A and B are shown apart, each in its own frame.
Chain A
């Protein structure tokens, strides 16, 4: 009995089909992998492009680029210290304000607030994270900086600074080292390192507080209840149980906020005053890496453009490592949860 054509054909078709499927599968896999590798390419490309663009600045100034305070387009001499100082100072001020406030918010939302209040307040705080940075910049420039110059700055310069309006130094300015320098200023406007730090703090509070709140909620109820049963107060549970348990993730959240603060451009550019001079006072205007680039890049050429690219490379590398630490710290808690 010879095989019917109808019984051979299906197996042939099947074989063809499975071969076609395998081919499609391979193609699909490569397509997907290629797209995923683009993420890698974006990071490497951003680092490579800025390094390439900044090569003549690095070649001309060498290590001197990092420690020089001069930024002089007239003589074509550029140094990174002033913008680097501005970036670090504003980010540290932002952290100094944002970390305790975020901790308070996270504590309130995870331990203190009544249950019905938690979700709406948490969404409201997260709304802050959604507001575009340029809106923070405008608010800072038109509303907060004038408010600061009229109501807060006079008090700071008169009671803490070494250049008070009436010429009489306060006790603090005379006896506590550095404080007088930090708050002494004769600059009449609000735009300053301190104001930029405050605006940055408001921007990063929602990031840090939402990370903290999320990780606080991962603490096993068992642990907290045991502490309560032994007579601990809410504060003692938070400080001695919740915080140690989530320490690495909390630090990760703080570094995440720092990474945001370092690279923020628009909010800072508006309220920093754009001064390329190094001043010890927090009430004097300054500049940051990102705002120097935003202000000067369009009109720059030659060595100045290259120096701006070099600044961008520095910023990118520093933020990369800050964010790397943040993610590694955050991952530690996730591992603990999994085990």
Chain B
């Protein structure tokens, strides 16, 4: 065999070997990160985490942070879902191929990866500062502000999935309804959104998964609170914020609790992304 063939074969083997190595590197880091989170998290799990609050420090738990996370995430999703679904509907049904529609679709994709800390500062400026000024400082940081910051992060996810899912609905469905004299708003609300329902739910679940690990936008909006807070106008703690606070603390006991929190958050996020996949795959089967 001449040398050029040999050289080409060796190059090919090398490239294939390196590509396999790259995949193994990626998988190894995934396994490493998940393994450490599981190992450290499970060894730190106990009942106190769910029943006691962070005011007790190393002897306490994360109950207020978990409740806070649930409330803030709920506010975020409750704001982002209707706005996101309606905006996505506008892009897919009313503004498809118009200039403004294309621009907003494009900018939405940018908002999808915009730095979340800047969104936190934005909400700080439009909600925290005015509420401080209006109430003379009695209400400043609040769970509600945190929810709005998370809504800004969830919004583009929901807009995009709704837009994509509606564009997948066959146009014969629209034509059939319109030919029966159904007005377009009724067609959109009662037929199209229903047809794309599972896809839209997937988008909402993905958005929830995305925001439930967000920390940076909550630091200057919900701020944190060592006591149990239920009222959204109070300062509110959240799991990611407590993880951040405890991991930066020198105490080993608090590190263990941060790992336990990290474990809870990771499991929540992974279960959500699993659930979103299930919703989508089941809908595919039923439509076929």
- State the Cβ distance, A138 to closest chain B Cβ, in Å: 5
B108 adjacent to chain A (CB < 8 Å): yes
Q: How does the 8 Å CB contact mask read for A80-98 relative to B, with 1 for contact and 0 for none?
A: 0000000000000000000
Question: Of A25, A100, A312, which is within 8 A of B184 by CB?
Answer: A25
Within 8 A of A (CB), among B85-119: 86-87, 89-91, 93-95, 101, 103-104, 106-111, 113-119
Q: Please give the number of chain B residues whose Cβ is less than 8 angstroms from any Cβ of chain A in the complex.
A: 85
Residues in A with CB closer than 8 Å to B104 are: 36-37, 39-40
A329 adjacent to chain B (CB < 8 Å): no
A108 adjacent to chain B (CB < 8 Å): yes
B219 adjacent to chain A (CB < 8 Å): yes
The answer to whether A49 touches B122, judged by C-beta atoms less than 8 angstroms apart, is yes
A223 adjacent to chain B (CB < 8 Å): no
Given contacts A104-B19, A141-B247, contact A323 B114 (CB under 8 A): yes
Closest to B8 in A: A233
Q: How does the 8 Å CB contact mask read for B27-54 relative to A, with 1 for contact and 0 for none?
A: 1011011101100100000000000000
Docked Cα-Cα span, A287 to B216, in Å, equals 16
Residues in B with CB closer than 8 Å to A32 are: 86-87, 89-90, 93-94
Closest to B188 in A: A28
A316 adjacent to chain B (CB < 8 Å): yes
- State the Cβ distance, A207 to closest chain B Cβ, in Å: 9
Given contacts A32-B90, A233-B9, A233-B11, contact A101 B26 (CB under 8 A): yes
A67 adjacent to chain B (CB < 8 Å): no
B155 adjacent to chain A (CB < 8 Å): yes
A276 adjacent to chain B (CB < 8 Å): no
The answer to whether A52 touches B118, judged by C-beta atoms less than 8 angstroms apart, is no
Given contacts A233-B8, A316-B118, contact A39 B125 (CB under 8 A): no
The answer to whether A36 touches B247, judged by C-beta atoms less than 8 angstroms apart, is no
The answer to whether B117 touches A290, judged by C-beta atoms less than 8 angstroms apart, is yes
Docked Cα-Cα span, A101 to B30, in Å, equals 14
Residues in A with CB closer than 8 Å to B122 are: 42, 45-46, 49-50
B40, B113, B159, B223 — most chain A CB neighbours (10 Å):
B113
Q: How does the 8 Å CB contact mask read for A44-73 relative to B, with 1 for contact and 0 for none?
A: 011001101100000000000000000000
Residues in B with CB closer than 8 Å to A121 are: 23, 27
Residues in B with CB closer than 8 Å to A33 are: 90, 94-95
Within 8 A of B (CB), among A12-29: 21, 24-25, 28-29
Closest to A198 in B: B29
The answer to whether B12 touches A236, judged by C-beta atoms less than 8 angstroms apart, is yes
A182 adjacent to chain B (CB < 8 Å): no
The answer to whether B119 touches A46, judged by C-beta atoms less than 8 angstroms apart, is yes
Within 8 A of A (CB), among B1-31: 8-9, 11-12, 15-16, 18-23, 25-27, 29-30
Residues in A with CB closer than 8 Å to B86 are: 31-32, 35-36
Within 8 A of A (CB), among B163-193: 183-185, 188
A297 adjacent to chain B (CB < 8 Å): yes
A248 adjacent to chain B (CB < 8 Å): no
Residues in B with CB closer than 8 Å to A78 are: none
Question: Of B15, B29, B220, which is within 8 A of A298 by CB?
Answer: B220
The answer to whether A323 touches B121, judged by C-beta atoms less than 8 angstroms apart, is no
Residues in A with CB closer than 8 Å to B259 are: 138, 142
Say what secondary structure dominates the interface of chain B: helix
The answer to whether A134 touches B265, judged by C-beta atoms less than 8 angstroms apart, is yes
Residues in B with CB closer than 8 Å to A28 are: 184-185, 188
A218 adjacent to chain B (CB < 8 Å): no
Closest to B258 in A: A138
Docked Cα-Cα span, A117 to B174, in Å, equals 40
Residues in B with CB closer than 8 Å to A319 are: 113-115
Within 8 A of B (CB), among A257-300: 259-260, 262-266, 270, 290, 293-294, 297-298
Docked Cα-Cα span, A98 to B45, in Å, equals 34
Docked Cα-Cα span, A37 to B32, in Å, equals 43
Docked Cα-Cα span, A120 to B25, in Å, equals 16
Residues in A with CB closer than 8 Å to B110 are: 43, 320, 323-324, 327
Contacts A/B (CB < 8 Å), 11 sampled? A24-B183, A38-B83, A104-B22, A134-B213, A139-B33, A143-B36, A209-B26, A263-B116, A297-B121, A323-B109, A323-B110
> Which residues on A are within 8 Å of B, measured CB to CB?
21, 24-25, 28-29, 31-33, 35-40, 42-43, 45-46, 49-50, 52-53, 100-105, 107-109, 111-113, 121, 124-125, 127-128, 130-139, 141-143, 202, 205-206, 209, 233-236, 238-239, 256, 259-260, 262-266, 270, 290, 293-294, 297-298, 309, 312, 315-316, 319-320, 323-324, 327
> Which residues on B are within 8 Å of A, measured CB to CB?
8-9, 11-12, 15-16, 18-23, 25-27, 29-30, 32-34, 36-37, 40, 82-84, 86-87, 89-91, 93-95, 101, 103-104, 106-111, 113-119, 121-122, 125-126, 152, 155-156, 159, 183-185, 188, 209, 212-216, 219-220, 223, 240, 243-244, 247-248, 255, 258-259, 262, 265-266, 269-270, 273
